[in-house]
Amino acid sequence: MNTDVVRVEVFGVFPTDQHTLAIFIGNDEKCFVIHVEPSVGRAIAMSMRGEHNERPLTHELIGYIFNAFDIKVERMVVNALRSNTYFARLILRAQNEIHSKLIEIDARPSDCLVLAIQAKAPLFVSQDVWEETDDRSEELEKIRQALREKKGPPGPIFGDDIA
């Protein structure tokens, strides 16, 4: 198994016809899509915009707990793709006057994404997963173009560079 990783970012969160939200993830080379539940997709979009709810949602609450205990989100890695399902690891660092500990937690990529984004931590994809995914850059560009032509705000869903 290859242990190399590729640095990525979230390009946008868009609705689909399947009652999910499509998270476009990638870099200048290519991008791929992870479909997520609407509530988590909205949490990712809100984190990307730096928005917070009046009352913290689960991901925000977890972030507050991490801060209270000096736990830092170091990074997240989408590390596997099996039967069209992505898997991820959230890498945390707990550090205090007694010890420093690096912890890897297996979690859904959507949860890892929102926690990493709100912590401004880097996002990665394993080289193996990167090579296995299909490039969806053309699809992303078509969505962006359609939104630009609408000339209206994208609403509650987020596209990062829509004019």
> In the chain, where are the structural domains located?
5-150
- What's the alpha-carbon Rg for the chain, to the nearest Å? 16
The more confident residue out of 118 and 97 is: 118
Residue 155's pLDDT band (boundaries 50, 70, 90)? very low
Residue 151's pLDDT band (boundaries 50, 70, 90)? low
- 74-104 in b/e form (b: 16+ CB < 10 A) is bbbbbbbbeeeebbbbbbbeeeeeeeeeeee
Instruction: Examine the pLDDT at 129 and tell me if it is beyond 50.
Output: yes
pLDDT at 160: 44
User: Measuring CA to CA, how many Å separate 69 from each of 43, 50, 129?
Assistant: 22, 22, 33
pLDDT at 88: 98
Phi-psi region of 19 (alpha: psi -120 to 50; beta: other; left: phi over 0): left
- For the segment 71-77, the average pLDDT, to the nearest whole number, is 97
Percent of residues, the chain, with pLDDT higher than 70: 91
Element (H, E) at 66: helix 58-68
User: How is domain 5-150 classified at the CATH fold level?
Assistant: Bifunctional nuclease domain (3.10.690)
Instruction: Examine the pLDDT at 144 and tell me if it is beyond 90.
Output: no
- For the segment 70-98, the average pLDDT, to the nearest whole number, is 94
Distance of CA 133 to the CA centre of its chain: 16
Instruction: Examine the pLDDT at 85 and tell me if it is beyond 50.
Output: yes
Give the span between the Cα atoms of 22 and 126, in whole angstroms: 20
Residue 2's pLDDT band (boundaries 50, 70, 90)? low
- For the segment 37-41, the average pLDDT, to the nearest whole number, is 90
Instruction: Examine the pLDDT at 161 and tell me if it is beyond 70.
Output: no
Q: State the pTM of this model.
A: 0.85
Instruction: Examine the pLDDT at 4 and tell me if it is beyond 70.
Output: yes
